[in-house]
Amino acid sequence: MYKRGVAGVSVDHYVRLEQGHSLQFSESVLDAVARALRLNQVEREHLYRLARLWSGEEPPATQEVRPGLRRLLEAAHDVPAYIVGRGVSVLAWNRLAAALITDFGALAPEQRDFLHLVFLDEGAKDLYEDWDDKAADTVAYLRLDAARNPGDPRITALIDEMNAQSPEFADLWQRHELKDKTHGRHVYRHPIVGRLDLGYETFRLPDDPDQALVTHHVEPGSPSADALRLLASLSAETAERH
C-alpha cells in the first residue's frame, strides 16, 4: 500500500498525514484517504480534526461553565445531570448526580474526571454493572477530545498518567477505537438504593463543543424509577441537614 499510495494520494502526503506534520491537505486528499480506508462518519470527522485543528496554540487552562447552565443543573432535582469538559473532566453537577456517582466536590480538581473515576477508583467496578462498556466509552470519548484539542497539555498528561497507572486503560487506548455516543444506557449498583438502569443523553454545547451536558432518564413506573426517586429524597434530606 505504501509503495503505491492510498487512493491516488502520494506516499509522501499519506505519511505526513499519519505523522501529523502537515495541515495543508485539500478536501480531495482527505476524502480520498477516508474512502480508501473505509472510514465511518465518526472516523472521517476524526481524520479531518487531526489534519486541520492543530494551530500551535494551547487552549485556555480554565474551563468556565455559564451561570445559566449551573442554574439549569440545580433546577433538575429529579434526574442526575452534569457537564463534562476537556479531558472528560466534570465541570459542574447537580445534587442527584453526586448522590448517584460520587461526591465530585470532595475530589481534588485535578482528579475530578471520569478517567480517574473509572480506571483508578477501586469502587468503580462495583458502581458500574456494565463497567467494560463504561470504560470503553470513556476512552473513545477521550480520543475524540484529544483530536479536538491536540495542544492541551492537561489531556496529554492525563493520557500519560492513565497509560502508566492503568493496564486496562492502556489496552483500550491501543485499540484506537472512536465512538461519539450521544445516548445510551448504564446500569448502576448503588450501595444504598440498589440497582438503577438509567438511560442518558449527551448534548454538546453549540458555542463550546468542548463542553457537553449529560442528563439521565428512567423508565416511568420501573423499579429503577422507584430507586431513583428514593435516592433523590435521601439526597435532599442530607442537603437540608447541612
At residue 207, the pLDDT reads 85
Helix then strand then coil, % of the chain, to nearest 5: 50, 20, 30
Name 93's bridge partners. 82
List pLDDT tens digits, range 193-242: 999 999 999 999 988 888 999 999 999 999 999 999 999 999 998 877 76
At residue 217, the pLDDT reads 97
Q: How many residues does the chain have?
A: 242
SS3 call for 214: strand
> In the structure grid, which three cell numbers stand for residue 46, read together?
476524526
List pLDDT tens digits, range 82-98: 999 999 999 999 999 99
At residue 185, the pLDDT reads 95
Which residue ranges form the domains of the chain, and what is each CATH number?
11-52 (no CATH), 67-241 (3.30.450.180)
Encode burial over 94-113: b for 16+ CB neighbours within 10 A, e otherwise. bbbbbbbbbebeeeeeeebb
Q: How far apart are CA 82 and CA 36, in angstroms?
A: 39
Contact 202, 138 (CB under 8 A): no
More confident call, 39 vs 223: 223
The pLDDT of residue 54 is above 50 = no
List pLDDT tens digits, range 121-147: 999 999 999 999 999 999 999 998 888
List pLDDT tens digits, range 61-118: 678 899 999 999 999 989 999 999 999 999 999 999 999 999 999 999 999 999 999 9
pTM value? 0.78
Distance of CA 166 to the CA centre of its chain: 17
Q: Closest Cα partner for 47 from 1, 9, 90? A: 9
The pLDDT of residue 164 is above 90 = yes
Mean pLDDT of the chain: 84
Binning pLDDT at 50, 70 and 90, where does residue 181 land?
Answer: confident
Question: What share of the chain has pLDDT > 90, as a percent?
Answer: 60
